[in-house]
Amino acid sequence: MAFALAAPVTAQAQDQAQQFCVADPAAVTARASITPPDKPLPEALVQALDAAARGALDGAAAPGVIAGVVTPEGRWSGAWGVADPETDAAMEVGMHTRIGSITKTFTGTALMQLAEADKLSLDDKIDQYVSGVPNGDIITLRHLASMTSGLLSYTQADPFLDLFFADPSLHYSPQDLLDFAFPGSPIFAPGEKFNYSNTNTVLLGLVIEQVTGQDIDTVFTSMILDPLGLTETTGPDGAALMPEPYPQGFTLQGDAATPDAPSNATHWDPSWGWTAGGMISTLDDLLVYGRSLGTGKGLLSAEAQQERLRSFPEPAGYGIAMGCVDGWVGHTGELPGYNTTVFYDTTTDTTVVVQANSDIPSGDCGDEDVLPDNPVDLACSSPASRVFEALSVALGHPFSMTPTASAE
């Protein structure tokens, strides 16, 4: 059964070497800081975005979605479907959802901030901070952030999967998670290739806590949330309880789920995700964060952000804790019950966020578990990704996991 904090870029995309994913990092970082505009987008574009979101939700295996777009010309947002199928309560903009692996971008940003402050170096070896890591005297913090460490993801370890799916209420410490990963590591030499591993980002969380002497929620609040005014975002340590309002989240993962009866994963213990996937947020917060993640504004110097924007394999791939395809930079987040996308288009200064209250895929998904009414004529996609890709088409810069030769 699938179990993931989803990566935004496939290995196939990473193998293609055409050109830089972000064509002009200096131009991106030179953009002015902005307050998201209150004015609406042009009516024709609003209608196109509305139609794209509704049409994509029809093919998605989710009760509802929330989506938003911010461009220099204005903003658009909306919600479709239901937050709770039992009560028919409507999905609403402003609801909190678990954001899964988008958490990794917060972890990577804090790491780069500490590097800028000369508190650490991305080329430090992990055994300077955490003992007992296989190949710890070779693996660097950069290897961890770029998913090239060779460490097995604990979410690919059968003992973890068996335990988690049998009882999703169990609480895990970061060390518990590492203990699942290390017996099966390494799976390749550091730097040899890409392998998406949640173990990497948990280790980075421990490094950040050690260097700062603070818990991770305090670090994220002082270094990212407060500077950007993200008042509705919850750090991984405080994410056990969902802040009101929130939609119910549904999954086919876990021992109790069947295609006819998905499990409600809303209150499954999120500690297993920690700095790899434990955070909670809202549409408005993520729209602000998504642009700052892409431009570095309010987070990193222009020099550091340009390094981050040049860290992707060409023309697509995974860099320093975020992904890029044809100039779109950001991350997806997928965990039982919820699916989220946050992407910034470096070519048009456009931010797109989608939240879905399901992680169930739809389309031609091979052996993956799907709902009985699954539309097999569609390409396989998670709910938020399906809606995001439709919105990107309406915006005129289609997001594709098989990038074109040009990022223009």
Fold of 11-346+356-394: Beta-lactamase (3.40.710)
pLDDT tens digits for range 356-369: 999 999 999 999 99
Asked if 301 contacts 116 with a C-beta cutoff of 8 angstroms, the reply is yes
Q: What is the mean pLDDT of residues 190-206?
A: 98
Q: Tell me what pLDDT residue 316 has.
A: 75
The model's pLDDT over 333-381, given as tens digits with 9 standing for 90+, comes to 999 999 999 999 999 999 999 999 999 999 999 999 999 999 999 999 9
Q: What is the pLDDT of residue 383?
A: 98
What is the rounded distance in angstroms from the CA atom of residue 331 to the CA atom of residue 336?
17
* pLDDT over 60 (residue 7): no
From CA 306, how far away is CA 20, in angstroms rounded?
12
The mean per-residue pLDDT over the stretch 273-289 comes to 99
Sheet of 338-345: strand order equals 89-90, 74-84, 64-71, 350-356, 338-345, 328-335, 323-325, 316-318
pLDDT at residue number 10: 43
Q: What is the mean pLDDT of residues 160-186?
A: 98
- What is the 8-class DSSP label of residue 78? E
Q: Which secondary structure element, helix H or strand E, spans residue 90, and what is its range? A: strand 89-90
Rounded to an integer, the average pLDDT of 214-219 is: 99
CA dihedral 268, 272, 277, 280 (to 10 degrees): 40
User: Considering only CA atoms, which of 374, 86, 355, 153 is closest in space to residue 252?
Assistant: 374
Compute the average pLDDT of residues 13-29.
74
Task: Enumerate the H helices of 35-90 as residue ranges.
Answer: 43-58
CA 44, CA 41: separation in Å to the nearest integer? 8
Q: What average pLDDT does this structure show over 181-206?
A: 98
Predicted pLDDT at 252? 98
Mean pLDDT score of the chain, rounded to an integer? 94
| For residues 36-43, average pLDDT | 90
CB of 391 closer than 8 Å to CB of 328: no
pLDDT band, residue 46 (cuts 50/70/90): very high
Is 70 exceeded by the pLDDT of residue 1? Answer: no
pLDDT of residue 19: 62
DSSP letters, 113-181, are HHHHTTS--TTSBGGGT-TT-TTTTT-BHHHHHTT-S-PPPGGG-HHHHHHHHH-TT----HHHHHHHH
Residue 18's pLDDT is 41
The Cα diameter of the chain in Å comes to 58
Could you tell me how many helices (H) and strands (E) the chain has, helices first? 14, 12
- Length of the chain in residues, anyone? 408
Q: Which has the higher per-residue pLDDT, 35 or 29?
A: 29
Q: What was the pLDDT predicted at 11?
A: 43
Instruction: Give 323's strand partners.
Output: 318, 330
**In this predicted structure, what is the pLDDT of residue 401?**
65
| pLDDT, tens digit, 9 for 90 and up, residues 66-118 | 999 999 999 999 999 999 999 999 999 999 999 999 999 999 999 999 999 99
Is pLDDT at 13 greater than 60 in this prediction? no
Residue 406: pLDDT over 60: no
Side chain identity at residue 308, one-letter code: R
Which residues are within 8 A (CB) of 264 and not within 5 positions of it... i.e. 6 or more apart?
248, 249, 250, 337
